[in-house]
Structure 1
Amino acid sequence: MSDPAPIVGGMTIQRMDNVGIVVDDLDAAVAFFTALGMELEGRMPIDGRWAGSVVGLDEMRSEIAMMRIPNAPGRLELAKYHSPEAITPEPAVTPANTLGLHRVMFAVDDIEDTLARLRPHGAELVGEVTRFEDSYLLCYLRGPSGIILALAEQLS
């Protein structure tokens, strides 16, 4: 059994529930992450005073799609904002050293097969597939809405 989470101020963290990603085309993002191997857990509108209060946006209306990894922990909450509209950063395509949430990494069985499934959904390599010692093949790719993913295939 693993050690419990460290105690911070008398409380423990139970788990990381999900990572939220804002997208401009929810259907395209769902298709992309489905091609990666995730499953759509659910999709629903999010609006009302309570929702705007949580995120600090007045008159917020959005739609979310919760994606999950089959038979494993880990979920992504994909969100499309209808009001107020999402803001595109300048520049629209940010480099890897931009401050803030950088990327989400997925362990995959076959990196080339995964790339082949994702390319029809707009995936483009940021750099190239690279070998790290005799341990991993690694790559960064850009998906819908400029999302950066990392893929890792364990070699040994």
Structure 2
Amino acid sequence: MPKNKLLRMDNIGIVVESLDEAISFFEEVGLNLEGRATVEGDWAGRVTGLESQQVEIAMMVTPDGHSRIELSRFLNPPTISDHRTAPVNALGYLRAMFTVEDINEMVSRLTKNGAELVGEVVQYQDSYRLCYIRGPEGILIGLAEELGNE
């Protein structure tokens, strides 16, 4: 019997309080708003196990069209816990990592718009420059700049 194979990863979901702030942040990173809608009804609750739910979502897509982040704002039921400011060694979702062309320019642009550099920009061998950034609501992302072989 043939083995079922993975076709692709569609998206990562992040629950937020303000879709507008999260959309603006990810647009500044370089993602595009692909669509925005309200998801509700019996079928949606059966998928998530939350029964009756109403969720406003926004789908953000990377410029190459291959990766997406689904931002969700729960209208019903209300959110029950908050892990947004957990340290990087906490269990569960940690961060999404993005490869950028110029990490210094990206960090400068994001911090001018209210994001905070978590530690510092560091270089890993001759391969990458890396950092973590906290955006609105404590959303944690990683940035990586690939270094060329000089």
Q: TM-score, normalised by structure 2?
A: 0.92
- 1:83 paired residue among 70, 76, 84: 76
Q: Would you identify which runs of 4 or more consecutive aligned residues in structure 1 move more than 6 Å?
A: none
| Equivalence map 1:1-156=2 (5 Å) | 10-89=3-82, 93-156=85-148
Deviation track 1:16-61 (CA, whole Å, cap 9, x = no partner) reads 0111111111000000000011100000001111111111113211
> Aligned partners of 2:100 and 2:106: how far apart in 1?
7
> Aligned partners of 1:151 and 1:97: how far apart in 2?
17
Q: Root-mean-square deviation (CA), in Å?
A: 1.7
How many percent identity over aligned positions?
48
> Aligned partners of 1:50 and 1:61: how far apart in 2?
11
> Aligned partners of 2:80 and 2:118: how far apart in 1?
22
The farther-off stretch of 12-21 and 69-78 is 69-78
- Which one-letter code corresponds to 2:121 in the other structure? V
> Aligned partners of 1:146 and 1:53: how far apart in 2?
29
- Which one-letter code corresponds to 2:143 in the other structure? L
Which ranges in structure 2 are unaligned for 5 or more consecutive residues? none
**Paired residues, what number?**
148
Does the 8 A contact of 1:63 with 1:79 survive in 2?
Answer: yes
Does the 8 A contact of 1:24 with 1:86 survive in 2?
Answer: no
Question: Per the alignment, in what secondary structure is the counterpart of residue 12 of structure 1?
Answer: coil
Q: TM-score, normalised by structure 1?
A: 0.88
Using the TM superposition, give the Cα deviation of residue 122 of structure 1 relative to its aligned residue in structure 2, in angstroms: 2.6
Does the 8 A contact of 1:23 with 1:144 survive in 2?
Answer: no
Which ranges in structure 1 are unaligned for 5 or more consecutive residues? 1-6
